[in-house]
Amino acid sequence: MTIGLYVSWLYNGPMEQIILLTGPRGIGKTTACQDLAIAARSKGLSLGGVIAPACYDEKGRKIGSDIIALANDQRKHLAVIDRANPHGRTIGSYRFDENVLAWAQEQVISDLRSPLDMVIIDEIGRLEMLQNKGFAAALDILSHADTRQALLVVRQSVLTWTQDHLRDVATTTIHMNEANRHLTVSMILDTSLFA
């Protein structure tokens, strides 16, 4: 029995494998990436890319997100939720720090050009689809990246767009949900080249 795992093999270019991790907001995709990074490093695997954990205020309300470069664990403040100033927004209620966004993109592209075992990109969303910003440039070089495999966290609302954008490369899509969220890291490891 398969729980939320759908595989689509299209083309096998220099990048050996791309895993798309998708699921509803708040299901734990970024937490799964953090756990995956710990598990991969414990196996001696080399990692790059970025993860974007949420930031919360003292009352537990989400107020934005940081971004962490996995190659060196450098952490920067990426975005704030700004509901009061709709004119300063980049996407929805998020106002991004353009300098940090550029830094994160440089990190990802540099890592994709390195012979790493895996690069994680958290996340592909409306910023890429609607404005061709964020990690859009990284998507364009995935097929000829020097990294063995990539894991892309993809918002459900842009999954079809992302799959279409990557139609010339092999992708595996893992749909994270309540039933399989505790199995997600194992599913990724089982699906990856390191199984």
Tens digits of residue pLDDT in 10-46: 323 367 889 999 999 999 999 999 999 999 999 899 9
Query: What does the pLDDT look like over 97-152, one tens digit per residue?
Result: 889 999 999 999 999 999 999 999 999 998 899 888 889 999 999 988 999 999 99
CATH of the domain at 171: 3.40.50.300
Number of domains in the chain: 1
| pTM (two decimals) | 0.88
Helix, strand, or coil (residue 55): strand
Which pLDDT score, from 0 to 100, does residue 58 have? 95
Residue 9 has pLDDT above 70, yes or no: no
Which pLDDT score, from 0 to 100, does residue 11 have? 29
Mean pLDDT over each residue of the chain, to the nearest integer: 87
Q: Which of 169, 174, 187 is nearest to 9 (CA)?
A: 169
Q: Which tokens go with 22?
A: 């998708």
Structural domain including 139 reads 5-152+159-191
